[in-house]
Structure 1
């Protein structure tokens, strides 16, 4: 009887195990194999097309040339860090020798002024885009909530939004540059004017999607939720905190994701024009340089720009999932 029971259990478990294995293989195929095949086909097409394109600087760079320049850029960064460390070590030795002779001497440490490396420029671009994005969120989200809650304010502000929404942020750059130059006049500025020009341009391009999506999200809150707030007689700030924000978070984050994606694209062009030492300036400098490696280095920058843009979007999505009550609404 025990043997028959064991056989019966084995027969029951076989389909379950087989079904689990099938599900695992299907999931692995979809998440790993299909993307790998897609990337492989793309690399093959890229390599084949690149070998047939001749430019004034030589062959269009293929995947192997781009990979080689990635390594070269990292080596340049490492070499620059070694120079920086040696620079500060020399200063420290000179200061120690000076202090040994004169105990009253106040040591001075001069900042290293070597060239910006590719990794440094990536960091600069990230700081610029996130600074502009945060500044825009601080302005746009409260404004969007106010517009969504007040129909009169919506009617007053909406024409202004609709006029300025289609304007390319780069069209603002000359005006931003002139205003920053006039207002931010300091012999010892805390941050460079080129950084402010790029950051404010990013802020301007982030404002409109966030304002519009936030106001639409607030205005479309279910009436039942509004009625609950009225029954409980919640104060205005409590109403926003307990009812408005939780209900409108999906739309707010949709606007934030759109804004961040557009901001990252605009930033590269803004850095080219404002000469802020970020990825945009790197691309422009390589284009002006015109060496045999310039095209491959520009392709490295393009790939890095795209990859960082993808990571920024995924980060915003994970943040939305973390703060949103509607997990099903943040599936992609």
Structure 2
């Protein structure tokens, strides 16, 4: 009884405080202060834990070591760009000098072949994951709509989806690698084989959530809307455009957000094994390197991977809010 009275008093005090404070202060506290407190507590536990963990390469990296590596990796990128600019400048000067001596000389231009920097690898990973995600969306969303509209098609395809949905990317990767090596045999390929392998692996693993959520959203249409479409005698295309798609946007975007999160996780493992020059390869190379800075560089990559995944998810949420007629439909 005493605890019940205490809870009631606490709730009453909280309601009084909320009533006294302006709404923007309450919103600021929820949006900024509480997450900041959570992050500070996490950093405290991380620092204490790192100081008490010894590995074969030294102490486990804490926040300070990660911040140091962020600066080091950025400086390496700047130095690499300066070397690239100097390389092309020397090449241009050499060609101009040869042309001055021999006007018939055909200048030769060679591409800079320096090592990819951490920022270059971030860009490569983003291009790869978005390419695989777009290909998956092009296949999955129309297929999901068709399955949602047809119970017969749903019955026919559902077993295939349930079989392949739980397959790990590590199982797909050897098969994809062999198929790409057998089919993609151009002597002057537009894209590297490692990029194609990683992209297809991402596509295969993130296609299923989009298919399932899209089909569920389409199959769950309000019967009144379907009846209105029948009364107006809308064509199949118009029915999908005016009724199905607007009503299914929340479910479609839920599937897309799930797929994008899966795609980002799958990509890191795929890049490690396929040696696509992205973040996965960076982590693997640093693990193989085994230098005194390897652990802190790997931890930096882990933090960056998490931040990029968070930003990708927020971006999908904003797109859903823009495109959906129901502004409160997104899953937070």
When normalised by structure 1's length, the TM-score is 0.92
The corresponding residue for 1:9 is none
Per the alignment, residue 263 of structure 1 pairs with 263
Which residue pairs with 1:37 in the alignment? 37
Give the structure 2 partner of residue 235 of structure 1: 235
Task: Give the distance between the partners of 2:37 and 2:283, measured in 1 at CA.
Answer: 30
Pairing 1:1-332 to 2, within 5 Å after superposition: 21-330=21-330, 332=332
Q: Tell me, in whole angstroms, the C-alpha distance in 2 between the residues paired with 1:23 and 1:221.
A: 37
Bigger CA drift: 274-283 or 86-95? 86-95
- Cα distance in 1, alignment partners of residues 249 and 32 from structure 2: 32
**Distance in 1 between the 2:42 and 2:67 partners?**
15
- Name the structure 1 match of 2:15: none
Instruction: Give the distance between the partners of 1:124 and 1:104, measured in 2 at CA.
Output: 39
Cα distance, 1:19 vs. partner?
5.8
Q: Separation in 2 of the partners of 1:121 and 1:50?
A: 27
Give the drift of 1:56: 0.2
Q: 1:330 offset after TM fit, Å?
A: 2.0
How many angstroms does 1:30 deviate by?
Answer: 1.6
Unpaired runs of 5+ residues, structure 2, are 1-17
Provide, for residues 22-63 of structure 1, a one-character-per-residue CA deviation record: whole Å limited to 9, x for no partner: 323222222222111111111111111111110000010111
Distance 2:226 2:25 in 1: 48
2-structure distance, mates of 1:315, 1:230: 36
Give me the whole-angstrom Cα distance separating, in 2, the residues matched to 1:271 and 1:283: 9
What is the distance in 2 between the residues matched to 1:150 and 1:35? 45
Once the 2 structures are TM-superposed, how far is the Cα of residue 21 of structure 1 from its aligned partner?
4.8
Q: Give me the whole-angstrom Cα distance separating, in 1, the residues matched to 2:224 and 2:107.
A: 68
* Alignment deviations for residues 260-305 of structure 1 (CA, whole Å, 9 cap, x no partner): 0011011101100101000000000000000000000000000000
Question: Which 5+ residue runs of structure 1 have no aligned equivalent?
Answer: 1-17
Tell me if the contact between 2:254 and 2:331 (Cα under 8 Å) persists in the aligned partners: no
Shift of 1:205: 0.9
- What is the count of residue pairs matched by the alignment? 315
What is the CA distance between 1:102 and its match in structure 2? Answer: 2.9
Are the structure 2 counterparts of residues 330 and 305 from structure 1 closer, same or farther at C-alpha, using a change threshold of 3 Å? same
Q: Distance in 1 between matches of 2:321 and 2:103?
A: 59
The secondary structure found in structure 2 opposite 1:104 is: coil
Check conservation: 2:133, 2:203, Cα contact below 8 A: yes
Q: Tell me the equivalent position of 1:14.
A: none
- Structure 2 distance, partners of 1:105, 1:214, is 60
- Larger mean Cα displacement after TM superposition, 112-121 or 220-229: 220-229
1:20 Cα deviation after fit: 7.7
Deviation for aligned residue 1:252:
0.5
TM-score, structure 2 normalization: 0.92
* Matched residue SS, 1:166: coil
State the SS of the aligned residue for 2:37.
helix
